[in-house]
Structure 1
Amino acid sequence: MNLAASPSAYATATAANAVRIERLLPGPIERAWSYLTEGELRRQWLAAGEMELAVGAPFELVWRNDELTQPPGHRPEGFNVENRMQSQLTEVDPPRRLSFTWGGGEVTFALEPRGAQVLLTVSHRGISDHANMLRIGAGWHSHLDVLDARLRGTQPEPFWDHWARLRDEYAIRLGQG
């Protein structure tokens, strides 16, 4: 399934410093929740890092995007092999809602059962500037495409090549700033 071809697959700006993106994923909701909260499963599509599911609990996200797909594609200049970010849980409502700090902002994952599928909505608020809005929109889009492939048992396209193409598409969709 190529969600990138569908306009609904794209992140949309909900404010000058916020984006929202949705995916309809294979269920059940508990499985999708596990991919959000368990470090080993989250590592397969976003970033590693163990988290205690309690409001106020600190945790670290560790990105190794070269490991998300084989092959990884060409990593763009300015990106490291590994990136780390300290975060803190701000909302935990299993298996429906998870929020945590993200730099100076916050990310919320909302899960809603839809028959045998689950609607995942990612809201990212507090994005520092328009350039980061483009990177983050393309980033969530790329990472969620990998998650979708993992849940469906299919092979995602090379992460970095996909991200770079999406970054250019987001520059057109959201404007250059």
Structure 2
Amino acid sequence: MNHIAFDSHGVLTEPATFTIERLLPGPVDLVWAALTESNLRKHWLAAGEMVLERGAPFEFVWRNDELSEPPGKRPEGFEEEYRLHSRITEIAAPHRLSITWDDTGDVTFEIEPRGRRVLLRVTHQGLADRDTLLAIAAGWHMHLDILVTRAKGLEPEPFWAGWLRLREDYDRRFAK
């Protein structure tokens, strides 16, 4: 697979598969913790306790309004909180975690050391329709931008404004 330029847009690596990468400060264990520990993950993605075992169910709880100050205006159709039931399908700590993503496919997180930094690759498979693809692509991009920004000790841009901008960007990039 070709590597994506860091801090850039993700790409379609297959017709229904979106892949995006970010380079983060290390070590690997710190990035693994940010991915698997609810108290850290809630600051960039979603809360939800995980039992780190294959087959273990868990729930992600999104409160995107809490990811930035100000959050920006929430688009129509989005609630203050969103819950997603998931299950761990593969785990090889601290380098790989695969999970189910409700009815929109499966997600794999891969963590690779790169010197003093760490590459985080997110691959979301099974994106069956265009609206889902655009929402998921913008979501992963914005959430990972927040993770990178927070890792640098900075405050992220307003979540919803960034998500709307990125959804439009991906709409152009993935034009039919």
Answer whether TM exceeds 0.5 for this pair. yes
| Structure 1: 4+ residue segments shifted above 4 A | none
- 2:152 is matched with which residue? 152
Matches within 5 A, 1:28-107: 28-104=27-103, 105-107=105-107
1:7 CA drift (Å): 7.8
What's the % identity of the aligned pairs?
54
Q: Structure 2: any 5+ residue segments left out of the alignment? A: none
| C-alpha distance in structure 2 between counterparts of 1:130 and 1:13, whole Å | 12
| Partner AA of 1:142 in structure 2 | M
Q: Classify the secondary structure of the residue corresponding to 2:139.
A: helix
With normalisation by structure 1, the TM-score equals 0.93
Alpha carbon RMSD of aligned pairs, Å?
1.2
Q: TM-score, normalised by structure 2?
A: 0.94
Counterpart contact for 2:88–2:99, Cα < 8 Å: yes
Larger proportion of helix: 1
1-side partners of 2:33 and 2:127: how far apart?
26
Separation in 2 of the partners of 1:166 and 1:27?
A: 27
Report the CA distance between 1:128 and its aligned residue.
2.6
Stretches of structure 1 that go unaligned for 5 or more consecutive residues are 1-5
CA offsets 1:123-172 (integer angstroms, 9 cap, x no match): 00011311110111111000000001111111110010000001111000
Once the two structures are TM-superposed, the CA of residue 56 in structure 1 deviates from its matched residue by 0.1
Counterpart code for 1:115: G
CA contact (8 A) 2:109 2:120 kept: yes
Q: Specify the code of the residue in structure 2 equivalent to 1:26.
A: P
Determine the structure 2 residue equivalent to 1:138.
138
> Residue 17 of structure 1 contacts residue 130 of structure 1 at CA under 8 Å; is this kept in 2?
no
| Partner Cα distance (1:127, 1:47) in 2 | 20
